[in-house]
Structure 1
Amino acid sequence: MILSENHPAEKSFKYRCLLKVFLYITAIVLTTNSDLFAQLHIVPQPVSAVQQKGSFSVKDGATIAVNAESQIVGSYLQQYLKDTYQLNVKVKKYDQIPQNAAIQLVSKATDTVKGAYTMLVSTKSIIITGSGPGLFYGVQSLIQLLPGTISKSLAVPACQVADEPRFQWRGLSIDVSRHFFTVDEVKKYIDMMAHYKLDILHWHLTDDEGWRIQIDKYPLLTEVGAKIAYYAKQGKFRKLDNLNDDGRDGFYTKDDIRSVVKYAQDRFITILPEIEMPGHSEAAIFAYPELGCKDSTGAAHRVRMLDPSEYTFTFYENVLTEVMQLFPNQYIHIGGDEAEVTDWLKSPTAVALMKREHFTEPGQVQSYFIKRIEKFLNTNGKKLIGWDEILKGGLAPSATVMSWEGEEGGIIAAKMHHKVIMTPLPQMYFDAPQANAITEPIGWNDPVSWQMVYNYEPQSKQLTPDEAKYILGAQANIWVEKIGTYKHLEYMIYPRLLGVAELTWTPKAEKDIKRFEQSMYANYRLFNLWDLNARIPNADGLKDVITNKNNYSQTITYPLNDAQVRYTFTGKTDTNAVLNSFPLLLRSTFKDSLPIRLYITRPPAKPITQIATIKHVNVPQPLTNTPDLQPGLAYFAYRTTYNNYPTLDTAKNFVTGAWQVGDFIKPFPGQFNTWVKLNGYLKIDTEGDYLITSDFENSPLVLLGNLVIINSNENKYVEPQETILHLQKGIYPIGGYYLADATNSEQTLISIKTTDGKPLETSYLFH
């Protein structure tokens, strides 16, 4: 295990090690089951968890024993059991909780990190111990151990759990500007976050499409700016062309805000408000045109950019004063992203500012803008967070950076010893579809699967241990231009959010995607109880296949019970096709290609569609003249700024070598693209059927002669592909290229096995 010694989440490492030893010994004594974690199915995975024999039954009329500090958590558990299971239990407060009480919530300070807890479940009692948030997180682990059916007696498996979070920033955003969500919907959003121990809700309250927070000093912000959809329908505002409908108007009163903040506090969630500036400000400018960037004629030049005038600064200082009174947390998010700073070159105010401050480019005006706002926030006891564009022109002295344009901005900020929250595209963007975009609701960007989310690591290897401590954690973001209803929002968030929960909580060395997958599937019983519209999983076994065979046969399985499937070989969905249960045997002959479409239902969830194509190809004959062979494929690795593969003539910086199976080619350091080209031969010693795959998250292009056998840029989770070829004994030309990055430099480029899964016993790639 590699640890950052100065990171707060690692302070109690010795304690955890000792506790693990204790729990391991206990496990040997009390159980013989070797798959302990898999039985408990707690997400995020605890630091230590051991299942024991037997169970404890939470029954109607039971008493939860609490002390003064744990009473709020006890009341939460009482209400949860009533709302979810119609189970009526009592909460009784004690100065000193009796040791023989059946359910004990013991609040006491710990010497570990914030959020630590222990949970001991025996056949006689449940005892959860921790500080305020830790005690609440222990209750969430207990909730995940409860059954998925309503009963007057709920069996909880006996176990010992000791746990604490890796990071203190475990976040999720909600965008209420593009489509407004009600107070009750926001509260349900908070409830679901709480179940998975997330602790930061980033509330995106203003943007071009709507201003959603009441500001007493400027009532037009909500009287006009919160009704953009209404005014657009009247022809008084530009068409909201990014939206897939007419939008949803609305705003939160100050009492609404206070209610949501209190609701979140009771669940140990901090709300981070975002007030966008200087870009993404069209709704505010529509309400108060004086804010808008002016050109030299005095006419409105753009409606998205704020003019850097004293009027604007006074306006936003007044706005932030009212915002700060509503949100007790230490941070205020001011946006700062996608500002069209070149608009300021036509603004007399901005041009005069540049001349006065001796600025040479408009990015410096943005830095000036952010620094002025930061100084105002700091004076009022608050800290500023902004998107990574606030790095441009010079970073404000104490600003925290939220890195969304990939990781580079966060890495730069951490090296400057600024605090960072990692929220990068693509892994942390949940407005992207979860599977093949053809089959999913419309969304931004390329698909992002739950596996991609889970595999993300917030502390980049480019950071030293001292620099890595500035990474506060990670956050998933979602923008709702294309998401018009709350049920659609839930569909986009879940189950991917469980991956964020685990990557921000569980020690890096303890992560296990196979174990997580089983725990994630186990949580679908709770999704049903919570009426949560989580996207159901894809079936296993369906892949795009390239083959020179004329018969297709594959058994398709499903990870959840009670799912059924219809299928066609026409490429079209037929909801009247024969209904089948899993496992499903697909079998067909074909000459050219075989389009397969599955239509999977598992009520009450929304059905999903899954597609694949089986493509028939003709394989080139092996070479008749055998060249002199050297082990491995020859490679050229080019350092370029090109997004597409460069030719040798245009690539001036490159290295060459021989790539062997198991080798990893590292990308060039810095802000460059590293293109890798490979050439050589595939040597087949025995005629037979062979399975050819790549483990790259985004596939390379691989050719056998001129035949494409692995398509480039296919996501291995979203569009899995494999090639099954009958090859004669002999030597075949093989080659291809790919864009090397930090992820695929640690993944297997190409794997060739027999179709029964056995690796080839001898070397098979040469040049």
Structure 2
Amino acid sequence: MKKTRYVLALALGGLSAFAHGAAPVNLIPMPAQLSVSGQGFTVTPQTTIFVDPGDPAARRTAEYLASLTAHTRHLQMQVKAGDADAGAIVLKLDPKAPITSPEGYTLDVYSAGIRIVARDEAGLFYGAVTAWQLMTPSPGTGDVRVEPVHIRDEPRFAWRGMMLDSARHFQTPAEVRTVIDQMAQHKLNTLHWHLTDDQGWRIEIKRYPELTRIGAWRTPPTLGKKAGAGRYGGFYTQDDIRAIVAYAAERHITVVPEIDMPGHAQAAVASYPELGVTGTRPPVSPDWGVNPYLYNVDDNTVHFLQNVLDEVMALFPSTYIHVGGDEAVKDQWKASAAVQARMHALGIKNEDALQTWFIDQMGGYLTAHGRRLIGWDEILEGGIPASATVMSWRGTQGAIDAAKQGHDVVLSPAPQLYLDQMQSDLPDETTGRLPSMSLKSYYDFEAVPKALNAAQAKHVLGMQANMWTEHMPTLRHVEHAVFPRMDALSEAAWTPAKERDWHGFLDRLPSQLARYRMQDIAYADSAFAPSIEVDRNAAIASGHANVTLSNQAKYGGVHYTTDGSEPNASSPLYVRPFAVNLPTTIKAVALAADGTPLADVRTRVLDLPSLRTRGTGELENCPGSDFRLRVQPTPDATSMAPTYLINVFDNCRMYRAAKLDGMAAIRVDTATLPRNYQLAHDAKLVKAYTSATPQGELVVRMDSCKGKPLASLPLPTDQPATFTLQGAMAKQAGTHDLCLVFTSPITGPIYGVGAVTLVPAEKAAP
């Protein structure tokens, strides 16, 4: 009866019930073919992993499996060469195995053991990863019973990638290896490594030492009268890179380096000003966005970059070398007499065609060295080399156009596959771009555009998610952004489309979250975190609140308390909205079927002050611009909180549906944030307001941003990092929107709002 009530409660609460019948086989990504029959096998410390004598590839994979199992389950197994005993795990490479893909494998679990067969080492490796997942179906250590499965598996796409941006924020070699380890466990096979940009040059080039002596370091922006912290940066020595590339190769991951050109070149021009168009030395940029600096187009610069590519190719054996090609604003080229003369000499009519010529110089050079150029979809503008591959990021149209022209493509569109998009709109989310991209949106992404016919679809190599790090300064930020969306990515890239099942994926995900915890991966619980919602104004008016609980994935049983105690499986199970009297504290947690928490407990205090307060994520953009970004107090801050949701084009926020009866004052918790954004041609869209004082004010208007002014709060002249503005507000009745606009100069800082509180007359300062 209790189980029936549990499932019924899930259905009534709008949350999907757990699968009935046999427990799911907890594999991610789901194999192409899987059946369950017969008896399982128990793996113990006495279980041996056998490989054929004289097969170093199989032994490498066996040692990897043994090491991973020992690390995550504390289950120590020996690896031996020779004929297998009964009750063993066998890894075998068989070039005659009936497997079509070099990354394919078969895996069988019998009562007498486990057998993995592949034609190539990559397939054997992925079979071993599957075996490891079968041996970690749930948290625990020691002996484990493995489901009796029969698997025949191969990937849907050849390119299953993740891009890691090390230019904006630097990860240590150990941190890069952590990312590689997780990619391998998800059967991803391409690490696109973004190594140069305006904000830093991260790869040692021995012929040009200034690239790292100068270009690898930036000075953070000043904030008011106070300078930022000391220099920020770092770079990878060539020995570091060789070691990382080898580490990835052992896990069957190809590292594709990106050396940006002709734009995103400011760090290089800061190192060698003669590479630039103006001849002057800029700083390594402390600003995010689209910077103006381009490489010039003379022969010396072309040869410089080809010399750089020589050292890059020596370090990276990948077929593909990424040359960027994106966001190259042509203003400097247009303004340069030397560049215009070069265009005339080459018979080139416009700057887009000049970029095509520039990219073609690099593409031809790479082709002559047995490599292939890949670039962002801007390289389509003006035509591209016949051998070039296009990575489509500005939506999917670039991939469609390129495939129709006969070019191979990788789907990597923004915002759908951008990992710096926030995972939810929860109030405790950390930094990132908006709109949020949920776990389900990743799972549902289809890499083959419907606009392509069957022949054109063959040019789709696969898909890739991009981890841009402007707002991800630490590995903890990166892990929060990447996991568990990497699980959804891996299944979308590996599993046949007809075998993908969102609800089955959710059933399998708790085991994967446990694997993250075993390995200290700081994944986000956003998909399962309870949202605690009330009608604020109704609660203020009546003294009680109707509470609705939900989570993004609509999965798990949500349990709650109303007395401030920690909820668990014995706490009330949410079925339908419930009423509470004010004041009270609601705590809620989503639990898996076995009672394991799917997310941390979420808490909401319900009292009059909190109901009259809106946090940064609850304030909307003012009309006119939908740009939203959640940022840290400083660009390189290492903490996960606090964060501030801002619009770099309009320093204005909306407090919707404010109940103003009896309110006499307003309090705004504020932060001074650096305006470190290069907006190129979009800079003209930044909105300026007329101010009454040199430093500006926070003006509160009613109903709209042109409405009646209710308060004007002067901003401090010394620009402290955080401060509170509080002042009288003209008394009004009824419910109205409030527009909060900062009239400070747009050459100065951006002001972030942490929270806005309406203060009743009896609480307002005299």
Query: Is TM-score (shorter-chain normalized) higher than 0.5?
Result: yes
Distance 1:604 1:225, change over 3 A: farther
Distance 1:286 1:604, change over 3 A: farther
Aligned to 1:409: 398
Is the 8 Å Cα contact of residues 203 and 271 (structure 1) preserved in structure 2? yes
Following TM superposition, by how much is the alpha carbon of 1:556 offset from its aligned partner in structure 2, in angstroms?
A: 5.4
Following TM superposition, by how much is the alpha carbon of 1:361 offset from its aligned partner in structure 2, in angstroms?
A: 2.0
Following TM superposition, by how much is the alpha carbon of 1:421 offset from its aligned partner in structure 2, in angstroms?
A: 0.2
The secondary structure found in structure 2 opposite 1:160 is strand
> Can you list the C-alpha shifts for 1:248-300, whole angstroms capped at 9, x where unaligned?
411111111111111111111111111111111111111111111228xx787
The AA in structure 1 aligned to 2:234 is G
The AA in structure 2 aligned to 1:209 is Q
1:114, 1:608 → 2: CA distance? 44
Is the 8 Å Cα contact of residues 534 and 605 (structure 1) preserved in structure 2? no
Aligned to 2:761: none
Following TM superposition, by how much is the alpha carbon of 1:86 offset from its aligned partner in structure 2, in angstroms?
A: 2.8
Pairing 1:36-55 to 2, within 5 Å after superposition: 39-55=24-40
Aligned to 1:26: none
1:121 aligns with 2:106: no
1:611, 1:312 → 2: CA distance? 59
| Runs of at least 5 residues in structure 2 that lack an aligned partner in the other structure | 1-18, 284-290, 607-623, 627-766
1:287 aligns with 2:287: no
2:191, 2:338 → 1: CA distance? 36
> Can you list the C-alpha shifts for 1:292-347, whole angstroms capped at 9, x where unaligned?
1228xx78797621111212111111111000001111000001111112320112
Distance 1:54 1:553, change over 3 A: farther
1:135, 1:247 → 2: CA distance? 45
TM-score by length of 2: 0.67
Out of 451, 468, 477, the residue aligned to residue 479 of structure 1 is 468
Distance 1:300 1:117, change over 3 A: closer
Is the 8 Å Cα contact of residues 38 and 519 (structure 1) preserved in structure 2? no
1:527 aligns with 2:516: yes
Aligned to 1:278: 262
Is the 8 Å Cα contact of residues 270 and 282 (structure 2) preserved in structure 1? no
Deviates more, 1:538-547 or 1:49-58: 538-547
Pairing 1:385-464 to 2, within 5 Å after superposition: 385-436=374-425, 438-464=427-453
Out of 179, 185, 196, the residue aligned to residue 175 of structure 2 is 185
Distance 1:562 1:180, change over 3 A: farther
Is the 8 Å Cα contact of residues 566 and 600 (structure 1) preserved in structure 2? no
Is the 8 Å Cα contact of residues 374 and 383 (structure 1) preserved in structure 2? yes
Pairing 1:358-377 to 2, within 5 Å after superposition: 358-377=347-366
Q: Percent identity?
A: 34
Following TM superposition, by how much is the alpha carbon of 1:135 offset from its aligned partner in structure 2, in angstroms?
A: 0.8
Following TM superposition, by how much is the alpha carbon of 1:224 offset from its aligned partner in structure 2, in angstroms?
A: 1.2
Out of 295, 298, 303, the residue aligned to residue 309 of structure 1 is 298
1:507, 1:247 → 2: CA distance? 48
Aligned to 2:250: 266
Following TM superposition, by how much is the alpha carbon of 1:406 offset from its aligned partner in structure 2, in angstroms?
A: 0.2
The AA in structure 2 aligned to 1:160 is H
Following TM superposition, by how much is the alpha carbon of 1:85 offset from its aligned partner in structure 2, in angstroms?
A: 2.6
1:154 aligns with 2:144: yes
Following TM superposition, by how much is the alpha carbon of 1:446 offset from its aligned partner in structure 2, in angstroms?
A: 1.1
Distance 1:544 1:361, change over 3 A: farther
1:250 aligns with 2:237: no
1:534, 1:299 → 2: CA distance? 41
Out of 202, 218, 232, the residue aligned to residue 192 of structure 2 is 202
Distance 1:52 1:247, change over 3 A: farther
Following TM superposition, by how much is the alpha carbon of 1:395 offset from its aligned partner in structure 2, in angstroms?
A: 1.8
2:36, 2:603 → 1: CA distance? 37
Deviates more, 1:581-590 or 1:354-363: 581-590
Is the 8 Å Cα contact of residues 568 and 589 (structure 2) preserved in structure 1? no
2:597, 2:202 → 1: CA distance? 32
> Can you list the C-alpha shifts for 1:409-465, whole angstroms capped at 9, x where unaligned?
110000001000000011100101100064311212310001001111011110001
1:578 aligns with 2:565: yes
> Can you list the C-alpha shifts for 1:718-737, whole angstroms capped at 9, x where unaligned?
xxxxxxxxxxxxxxxxxxxx
> Can you list the C-alpha shifts for 1:591-641, whole angstroms capped at 9, x where unaligned?
9x999986759999984759999xxxxxxxxxxxxxxxxxxxxxxxxxxxx
Is the 8 Å Cα contact of residues 356 and 382 (structure 2) preserved in structure 1? yes
2:110, 2:554 → 1: CA distance? 30
Is the 8 Å Cα contact of residues 556 and 590 (structure 2) preserved in structure 1? no
Aligned to 2:496: 507
The AA in structure 2 aligned to 1:504 is A
| Runs of at least 5 residues in structure 1 that lack an aligned partner in the other structure | 1-33, 569-576, 614-641, 645-767
Following TM superposition, by how much is the alpha carbon of 1:384 offset from its aligned partner in structure 2, in angstroms?
A: 0.3
Out of 71, 74, 99, the residue aligned to residue 83 of structure 1 is 71
Aligned to 1:719: none
Following TM superposition, by how much is the alpha carbon of 1:101 offset from its aligned partner in structure 2, in angstroms?
A: 6.2
Following TM superposition, by how much is the alpha carbon of 1:38 offset from its aligned partner in structure 2, in angstroms?
A: 5.6
1:433, 1:108 → 2: CA distance? 45
TM-score by length of 1: 0.67
Distance 1:36 1:225, change over 3 A: farther
> Can you list the C-alpha shifts for 1:695-747, whole angstroms capped at 9, x where unaligned?
xxxxxxxxxxxxxxxxxxxxxxxxxxxxxxxxxxxxxxxxxxxxxxxxxxxxx
1:108 aligns with 2:94: yes
Is the 8 Å Cα contact of residues 367 and 393 (structure 1) preserved in structure 2? yes
Q: Taking CA–CA contacts closer than 8 Å with sequence separation of 6 or more, which of the two structures ends up with the larger relative contact order? A: 2
> Can you list the C-alpha shifts for 1:19-42, whole angstroms capped at 9, x where unaligned?
xxxxxxxxxxxxxxx978962021
1:299, 1:89 → 2: CA distance? 59
The secondary structure found in structure 2 opposite 1:187 is helix
1:354 aligns with 2:343: yes
Aligned to 1:538: 528
The AA in structure 2 aligned to 1:44 is P
> Can you list the C-alpha shifts for 1:466-492, whole angstroms capped at 9, x where unaligned?
000100000000111111111111110
Out of 32, 42, 66, the residue aligned to residue 57 of structure 1 is 42
1:566, 1:358 → 2: CA distance? 74
Distance 1:590 1:102, change over 3 A: closer
1:483, 1:305 → 2: CA distance? 26
Is the 8 Å Cα contact of residues 294 and 348 (structure 1) preserved in structure 2? no
Following TM superposition, by how much is the alpha carbon of 1:229 offset from its aligned partner in structure 2, in angstroms?
A: 3.9
The secondary structure found in structure 1 opposite 2:28 is coil
1:554, 1:544 → 2: CA distance? 6
The AA in structure 1 aligned to 2:311 is E
1:273, 1:165 → 2: CA distance? 23
Aligned to 1:700: none
Distance 1:322 1:529, change over 3 A: same
Pairing 1:635-674 to 2, within 5 Å after superposition: none
CA RMSD in angstroms comes to 3.7
The secondary structure found in structure 2 opposite 1:50 is strand
List structure 1 segments (4+ residues) > 3 angstroms apart after TM superposition: 34-38, 97-101, 147-150, 232-235, 245-248, 298-303, 539-568, 582-591, 593-613
The AA in structure 2 aligned to 1:333 is H
> Can you list the C-alpha shifts for 1:58-88, whole angstroms capped at 9, x where unaligned?
2214321012031110111121122223332
Following TM superposition, by how much is the alpha carbon of 1:150 offset from its aligned partner in structure 2, in angstroms?
A: 4.2
Matched length: 564
Aligned to 2:309: 320
Is the 8 Å Cα contact of residues 36 and 51 (structure 1) preserved in structure 2? no
2:452, 2:22 → 1: CA distance? 32
Deviates more, 1:61-70 or 1:174-183: 61-70
